[in-house]
Amino acid sequence: MASNNVQELIDKAYDIGREGALFDRYAVITKLKKTPQNFQISYLPDKEKIFKTIDSLKEKIETTPINATMKKDKMQSFVVTPGKTGTQINKDKTFEAIQNAIKKKESKVKIIVDSINPQYTKNALAEIQTPLATYTTKFNRYDKSRTNNLQVATSFIDSSLVKPGETFSVNNAIKSRTAANGYQSAHVIVNGQLVDGIGGGICQVATTLYNAVMIADLKVVERHNHSLTSTYVSPGRDATVSGSYLDFKFQNTTNKQLYIQGYLDGGTLTYTIYGDAAAVPKNRIDFEYAVVKRISPPPEKVTEDPTMDLGKRKVTTKAKEGMVVKLYKLIYDANNVLLKKEYVSQSTYRATQAEVLVGTKQLVEVPVME
């Protein structure tokens, strides 16, 4: 790990008495008998080799810090599991120590190791156990596939921690909607129509979390409404996610971490956001929507059905009015006096065309025998 200057000293010694006139050179060489020249061998650390050696020790010495974790138990109390400090070799200080050891001709060197704290410590998590906002929506628990999807997506989000300034993405949290990740086929809205698709129902997860985020007065970074109004939330308060191009994102605008709790209970889905007590909104926040335009459904679509008796009608899809709505945030003081009304967003929902089957089967008259 060190180089020396032996060759340089040999060259210098060889050059003694080899310059000038013959007599002068002889005098220099003769003088060496009485006053010899001494050359000091020095050792210079080879930085590249030393760093390679240090890197080879990382696997044996360095350890990864482990974050503290926090989760609600069955009694709805927080259980915090302590984290663990990691270790990392300080390459620059270790190099200096090796350099000094070489100069002092010491055979042993102490590796300098720094402690690396985890991102989330037990003390930090103990500070963020105050509920900032909660929101609940209802669903049909007898729809097994849809309920499964709500449970799977919620399991991915539950117990998530969001650092100050960090943006949380629902799409990233709930992973790709595949059977391998536990999702099943259920009703999903595609181009204004209800069809079956893997992961159907997860938009209710995004919607429920979206409302908790708004009540907590956090910054919404990205939100999209459905093409149709939802049955589990009022117009303007829904949020849809799809593939990697439609997402719901929000930013932690507080000074401490946020903890997200999500769970299903019977036919309800609840999301609660916890944080530092100082982050609790000082005023009560509510929301209202205003319909700025109503969209009439197009004329019904009639399809003839030769298997149905002539003249009979069967509605397969009901007509539904569309609308354009504006959502407003209402801020109240402790005495429930409205302080401010702020515009939040505008959402457009399609009208749904009625679809009807009409029977064309001719009735055959059977002659009566007299």
- How far does Cα 49 stand from its chain's mean position? 40
Record the tokens describing residue 132, joined without a space: 């900032």
In the DSSP assignment, the letter for residue 245 is: T
| Cα separation values, 165 from 10, 77, 161, 280, Å | 63, 27, 12, 17
Q: Is residue 182 helix, strand or coil?
A: coil
91-103 vs 47-56: helix crossing angle, rounded to 10: 120
State the pLDDT at residue 183.
94
Per-residue pLDDT tens digits of the chain, which is 370 residues long: 556 555 665 776 666 767 777 766 677 677 767 778 776 666 666 777 778 888 888 888 889 999 888 887 766 788 888 989 999 988 888 888 887 877 777 778 888 999 998 888 888 888 889 999 999 999 999 999 999 999 999 999 999 999 999 999 999 999 999 999 999 988 776 655 667 778 889 999 999 999 999 999 999 999 999 999 999 999 999 999 998 889 999 999 999 999 999 999 999 999 999 999 999 999 999 999 999 999 999 999 999 999 998 989 999 888 999 999 999 999 999 999 999 999 999 999 999 989 999 989 887 776 666 6
State the pLDDT at residue 170.
98
Contacts of 83 (CB under 8 A, 6+ apart): 65, 66, 67, 68, 69, 118, 120, 121, 122
Q: For residue 275, which of 164, 153, 167, 158 has the smallest C-alpha distance?
A: 164
Sheet holding 284-295, edge to edge: 284-295, 322-332, 338-349
The sign of the CA dihedral 208, 209, 212, 217 is negative
The sign of the CA dihedral 25, 26, 31, 36 is positive
Contacts of 315 (CB under 8 A, 6+ apart): 354, 355, 356
| Cα separation values, 63 from 51, 69, 83, 84, 307, Å | 19, 18, 13, 10, 73
d(CA 232, CA 229): 9
Entry pTM: 0.76
d(CA 325, CA 293): 7
CA atoms within 13 A on the CB side of 91: 12
d(CA 292, CA 305): 39
| Cα separation values, 363 from 92, 310, 322, 359, Å | 96, 7, 39, 11
Q: Is 303 exposed, middle or buried (0-12, 13-18, 19+ CB in 10 A)?
A: exposed
d(CA 252, CA 231): 29
State the pLDDT at residue 52.
83
d(CA 220, CA 218): 6
Q: Is 9 exposed, middle or buried (0-12, 13-18, 19+ CB in 10 A)?
A: middle
Residue 7 phi/psi, 5-degree rounding, is -60, -40
Q: For residue 288, which of 320, 325, 322 has the smallest C-alpha distance?
A: 325
Domains annotated for the chain, with CATH where assigned, are 1-45 (no CATH), 47-125 (no CATH), 127-281 (no CATH), 282-364 (2.20.230)
State the pLDDT at residue 193.
64
